[in-house]
Amino acid sequence: MTDKNRVWIFDTTLRDGEQSPGATMTHAEKLEIAQMLDEMGVDIIEAGFPIASEGDFAAVSEIAKLSKNSVICGLARAQLPDIDRCWEAVKHARQPRIHTFIGTSPLHRAIPNLDMDQMAERIHQTVTHARNLCDNVQWSPMDATRTEHDYLCRVVEIAIKAGATTINIPDTVGYTAPRESAALIQMLLERVPGADDIIFATHCHNDLGMATANALAAVEAGARQIECTINGLGERAGNTALEEVVMALKVRHDIMPYDTHIDTTKIMGISRRVSQVSGFPVQFNKAIVGKNAFLHESGIHQDGVLKNVETFEIMRPADIGLNEANIVMGKHSGRAALRSKLRDLGYELGDNQLKDVFVRFKALADRKKEIYDDDLVALMQDSTANT
């Protein structure tokens, strides 16, 4: 592994993820998730927005004190009191980071009613202030993907000169597309003096379902930090899902030779826990962590998987810490799967008995959406009673 191919994983489940309407987590839940993120190898944990509430401040401070490996980051608007409050919370960490941002697109500039020069001055002032407090400063031009390129280059250069060590390029409204996401990073790397000395991050939202593709395209163009959340939790349609980018880089390392330090076997555990504490169920067919992501129901698929799992699986369930059976019985299942499943349940069937049980299994599967192990045991008990 060469260092230039190392990709830093920045998890913002506890900040952007928690901004999903209804996803509020308790203090204890936040600490638990932060500990899981730390243990799975997340490089930077964005633990909250300290000025947003007393609760957020307390959670970020506590996570900062408890973190063992990860950099602990807090978010702050481009205002000096926000930055001071953020520092008060993250300063307890072994490796603290201040992340400050301002909306730079025409629509966002209109909100604080700053013209281009006034905003440039604000960026210089706030990044300088943050850097005087902390060695590790991240700056984000919110809505970067809808910001004029010349202005974006100008403000990124100002932030770098003021001491930002990471420049994050947010696609705040999930508007960009992979080719454009890559071109933007490439343009910044080519045009901004000092760009080679800092890390570019990509922060994508999923409004058009392209967050993962956009993040990976940015990495291919030179971004080296991916901002993401567990299960893709986040405002509106959510953020880039951590499990998707990490597994995409692992499974397609042949064409995307970039390395993260994530222990992928911890993915399923944290996915389930985030779903529980946020109250956001994971859709059944969600990539990587959905209930159906590794299940095979049709006869052809089951037969293939039983003979060689690689026929229909590009990664192993154990890679994400899933140790459950990947065969689910239903009306599309075939004899080979039924025989194998019954064998797992302790029933060794001859050909004639299998034929009989298979007919009754199909009739049951036509009536029931899912066939559980208990249904098969009941079927076998009936079969034994009738012979």
Name the residues that contact Zn ion, by CB under 5 A. 16
- Applying CB under 6 A, among 13, 140, 145, 225 the residue interacting with ligand KIV is 140
Annotation-wise, does 332 bind a ligand?
no
| Binding site partner of 153, from ligand KIV, Zn ion, none, Cβ cut-off 5-8 A by kind | none
Q: What is the number of other CB atoms lying within 10 angstroms of the CB of residue 345? A: 12
Q: Which is nearer to ligand KIV, 143 or 297 (by Cβ)?
A: 143
CA torsion through residues 122, 124, 126, 129, sign: negative
**Residue with Cβ nearer Zn ion (180 or 319):** 180
Q: How far is the CB of 355 from Zn ion (least distance, A)?
A: 57
**232 binds, options Zn ion, ligand KIV, none, Cβ within 5 to 8 A by partner type:** none
Task: Quickly list DSSP for 232-276.
Answer: G--STT-B-BHHHHHHHHHHTTTTS--B----GGGHHHHHHHHHH
| Binding-site partner at residue 181 among ligand KIV, Zn ion, none, CB < 5 to 8 Å by type | none
79 with 126: CB under 8 angstroms? Answer: yes
* CB nearer to ligand KIV: pick between 168 and 264: 168
Annotated binding residue at 16? yes
Nearer to ligand KIV, 20 or 333 (CB): 20
Provide the minimum distance between the beta carbon of 266 and ligand KIV in the complex, in angstroms, as a whole number: 25
> In the bound complex, what is the minimum distance in angstroms from residue 153's beta carbon to ligand KIV?
18
Paired tokens of 218: 């940015």
Instruction: Give 287-319 as a DSSP string.
Output: TTTSTTTT-B-SHHHHHHHHH-GGGT-SS-GGG
Rule CB under 6 A: which of 3-62 touch ligand KIV?
Answer: 16
Closer Cβ to Zn ion, 15 or 224, answer by number:
15
Assess contact for 99 and 76: CB atoms under 8 A.
Answer: yes
Q: Which does 20 bind (CB under 5 to 8 A by kind): Zn ion, ligand KIV, none?
A: none
73 binds ligand KIV (CB under 6 A): no
CA distance 260 to 6: 6
Q: Which residue of this chain has its Cβ atom nearest to Zn ion in the complex?
A: 16
CB 178 within 8 A of CB 217: yes
Is position 203 an interface residue for ligand KIV (rule: CB under 6 A)? yes
In terms of DSSP H, where are the helices of the chain?
Answer: 27-40, 54-66, 80-90, 106-109, 116-133, 149-162, 178-191, 211-221, 242-251, 267-278, 299-307, 335-344, 351-367, 373-386
Residue 142 interacts with ligand KIV (CB under 6 A): yes or no: yes
Q: Is 239 annotated as a binding residue?
A: yes
Pick what 142 binds: Zn ion, ligand KIV, none; C-beta below 5 to 8 Å, kind-dependent: ligand KIV
Check if the beta carbon of residue 39 is closer than 8 Å to that of residue 266: yes
Distance CA 78, CA 42 (A): 26
d(CA 140, CA 164): 10
Q: Contact with ligand KIV (CB under 6 A): which of 8, 57, 87, 101? A: 101
Q: Which of 9, 17, 18 minimizes the C-alpha distance to 223?
A: 9
Minimum Å distance from CB 373 to Zn ion?
42
Q: Which is nearer to Zn ion, 105 or 326 (CB)?
A: 105
- 172 interacts with ligand KIV by CB under 6 A: yes
**Rounded alpha-carbon distances, angstroms, from residue 114 to 147, 242, 327:** 14, 35, 59
- Number of residues that make up the chain: 387
Question: Which residues, in sequence order, are bridge partners of residue 103?
Answer: 142
Q: Which is nearer to ligand KIV, 203 or 341 (CB)?
A: 203
Give yes or no for residue 321 binding ligand KIV (CB under 6 A). Answer: no
In this structure, what token pair is assigned to residue 213?
A: 């593709």
User: What residues are designated binding site?
Assistant: 16, 203, 205, 239
* Site of interaction with ligand KIV (CB under 6 A): 16, 101, 140, 142, 168, 170, 172, 203, 205
User: What residues are designated binding site for Mn(2+)?
Assistant: 16, 203, 205, 239
